Structure 1
């Protein structure tokens, strides 16, 4: 069963009964606010997630993510949640400091 653990949201766990879903969609469907200024189109980096573990359970990096990596707008270990598909298994992620919402409480 696919699972997302958001480490700096007090280890919040999201489980899904279906695989091959966009990470940001799973997060939003579970009532978690996650920034996405471009409307989930891969045109910005506001939805980036820091991947702590489970990279093998995500879709490969796509052209949009590759572009942002070469521009330095994404670092190694960061992915766009709107472009990353959770194939199966578990991923552990963190919200980037610059993308935290002021109305949410985060753990460290």
Structure 2
């Protein structure tokens, strides 16, 4: 099990290999995923405060180029939890007033 810490939401344990967006959502962090986990909208991006998710995936690189996104960010719909981490979601249902969007596939 890995521990994920989210400021203002606490720390929770998830099974390693879980998609980060699903781990957040299943633990009460209402991160947006407006495109349903297809790396098109970047609304699920998180700042990685601590921990490692490996190199950016090709799909993340393309999405970030199109949106002009900064370093230290990852798409939570594209990465899997592989150890303890701390992340800050950029957009949530509460902060944006938007519907989360379709749930990403496992």
User: Would you call these one fold, judging by a TM-score over 0.5?
Assistant: yes
TM-score, reference length from structure 1: 0.76
Match of 1:92 in 2: 86
How do 1:4-83 residues align onto structure 2 when only pairs under 5 Å count?
4-7=4-7, 10-16=8-14, 18-55=15-52, 58-83=53-78
The alignment of Structure 1 onto Structure 2 pairs a total of residues equal to 96
For 1:102, which of 80, 86, 94 is the aligned residue? 94
Cα offset, 1:38, TM superposition: 0.0
Residues 103, 68 of structure 1: alpha-carbon distance in 2 compared, 3 angstrom cutoff: closer
Q: CA deviation digits over 1:61-97, x for unaligned, max 9?
A: 211111133335321100000001111x21111122x
**2: CA distance between counterparts of 1:70 and 1:40?**
17
**1: CA distance between counterparts of 2:54 and 2:74?**
10
Show structure 1 runs of 5+ residues with no match: none
Q: RMSD across aligned C-alpha pairs, in angstroms?
A: 2.0
**2: CA distance between counterparts of 1:20 and 1:83?**
11
Q: Is the 8 A contact 2:30 2:92 kept in 1?
A: no
Show structure 2 runs of 5+ residues with no match: 97-106
